[in-house]
Amino acid sequence: MHRTIFSTPIVNTLLRAFSVFFLRLAGWQVLGSLPPEARKSVFIAAPHTSNWDLPYTLMVAFSLRLNVYWMGKASIFNFPFGPLMRWLGGIAVDRSKANNLVAASAQALQEAHGALQLIVPPEGTRSKVPHWKTGFYHIAVAARVPIVMAYMDYHRKISGLGPVFVPCGDLEADMIKIKAFYAPFQGKNATQFEAD
């Protein structure tokens, strides 16, 4: 995986201090911690309803001392922002083309030296969607890593890491449990998120 802001010495220390300070000043609580068995894992990023989710997610990741990469639509990687987005941990996803994103992501997780957390928004967009995409689930299964249920609740100003979820292989049954966890949370644009 490419070098990111999280693996850049000095910069990551300064940004962690800034993130902790800013989140406290803004009234946010960061909860949870990453257990050792989830050093390599797939994070669900939900609710995802606003462009503000990215900067807050990065600050929470710094606060929790994570090494995250995140998936975003290819258009935000266009010139001149591409290098910056990749340095922030971004991986471009072209939703108009069929590709082997699941296999490539799983392989990157397996081959990574040290801790690596891959953030995947299950809605695939900030708009309200009737069904979640299941790429996060298939990546975790293929890489044989757990899923961490990360969340951001703008109403209560809490964000952090929920339970570690180990997929059993029954997608339908597992999705019911995962969505039940996310049902109480509200995104910045609360009407655009539905976890049922």
Residue 15 in this model has a pLDDT that exceeds 70: yes
Q: How confident is the model at residue 194 (pLDDT cuts 50, 70, 90)?
A: low
* DSSP state letter for 75: G
What is the reported pLDDT for 32? 96
Percent of the chain, pLDDT > 90? Answer: 62
Question: What angle in degrees, to the nearest 10, is found between the helix axes of 101-111 and 135-143?
Answer: 40
What is the reported pLDDT for 97? 59
N-term to C-term CA, the chain = 34
Residue 145: CB atoms within 10 Å: 23
Domain ranges of the chain: 5-187
What is the reported pLDDT for 191? 73
Average pLDDT over residues 159-176: 94
The pair phi, psi for residue 41, each rounded to 5°, is: -165, 170
Average pLDDT over residues 164-185: 93
Residue 132 in this model has a pLDDT that exceeds 60: yes
How are beta strands 68-73 and 116-120 bridged, if at all?
A: parallel
Predicted TM-score of the model (pTM): 0.88
Task: State the greatest distance between any 2 C-alpha atoms of the chain, in Å, as a whole number.
Answer: 44
Residue 80 in this model has a pLDDT that exceeds 70: yes
Residue 151 in this model has a pLDDT that exceeds 90: yes
The C-alpha atoms of residue 47 and residue 149 are separated, in whole angstroms, by 11
Residue 133 in this model has a pLDDT that exceeds 90: no
- DSSP 3-state percent helix, strand, coil across the chain (nearest 5): 40, 20, 40
Residue with tokens 């997929």: 167
The C-alpha atoms of residue 72 and residue 125 are separated, in whole angstroms, by 9
Please give the structure tokens belonging to residue 181: 């966890």
Percent of the chain, pLDDT > 70? Answer: 91
Q: Which of 2, 38, 3, 27 is nearest to 147 (CA)?
A: 38
Residue 98 in this model has a pLDDT that exceeds 60: no
The C-alpha atoms of residue 69 and residue 143 are separated, in whole angstroms, by 15
Residue 47 in this model has a pLDDT that exceeds 70: yes
What is the reported pLDDT for 145? 96
H/E stretch holding 117: strand 116-120
**Close Cβ partners of 156 (under 8 Å, ≥ 6 residues apart):** 186
Q: How many Cα atoms are found within 13 Å in the side-chain-facing hemisphere of 8?
A: 13
The C-alpha atoms of residue 9 and residue 11 are separated, in whole angstroms, by 5
